[in-house]
Amino acid sequence: MTVITRFAPSPTGTLHVGNIRTALHNWMFARGQDGRFLLRVDDTDGERSEERFVEAIRADLAWLGLVPDGEERQSARFDRYEARFAELKAAGRVYPAYESAQELDLKRKVLLGRGLPPVYDRAALALADADKAKFEAEGIRPHWRFRLDHDAMIEWDDLVRGPQRFDPKTMSDPVVRRADGSWLYLLPSVIDDVDMAVSHVVRGEDHVSNTATQLQMFAALGAAAPRFAHEALLTGAEGKLSKRLGSLGIAHFRELGIEPQALIALLARLGTSDPVEPLVDVAPLVASFDFARFGRAPARFDEEELAQLNARIVHQLGFDAVRDRLPAGMGPAGWEAIRPNLSTVAEAADWWQVVEGPVAATIPEEDRAFLALAAGIAEGIDWSDPWPELTGALKAATGRKGRALFLPLRLALTGREHGPDMAALLPLIGKENALARLGSA
String of b and e for 222-248 (b: at least 16 CB within 10 Å)?
A: ebebbebbbbbbbbbeeeeeeeebeeb
Query: Are residues 206 and 197 in contact, defined by beta-carbon separation less than 8 angstroms?
Result: no
Q: Which of 44, 45, 33, 73 shows the shortest CA–CA distance to 57?
A: 73
Rounded CA-CA distance 10/357 in Å is: 50
The answer to whether 243 is annotated as binding is yes
Radius of gyration of the chain (CA): 32
DSSP 202: E
Instruction: Give 275-324 as a DSSP string.
Output: PP---SSSHHHHHH--GGGB-SSPEEP-HHHHHHHHHHHHTT--HHHHGG
Q: What angle do CA 177, 229, 117 make, to 5 degrees?
A: 50
Of the CA atoms within 13 Å of residue 314, those in its CB half-sphere come to 24
Rounded CA-CA distance 25/7 in Å is: 9
Q: What angle do CA 408, 409, 411 make, to 5 degrees?
A: 65
Binding residues: 243
Binding residues for ATP: 243
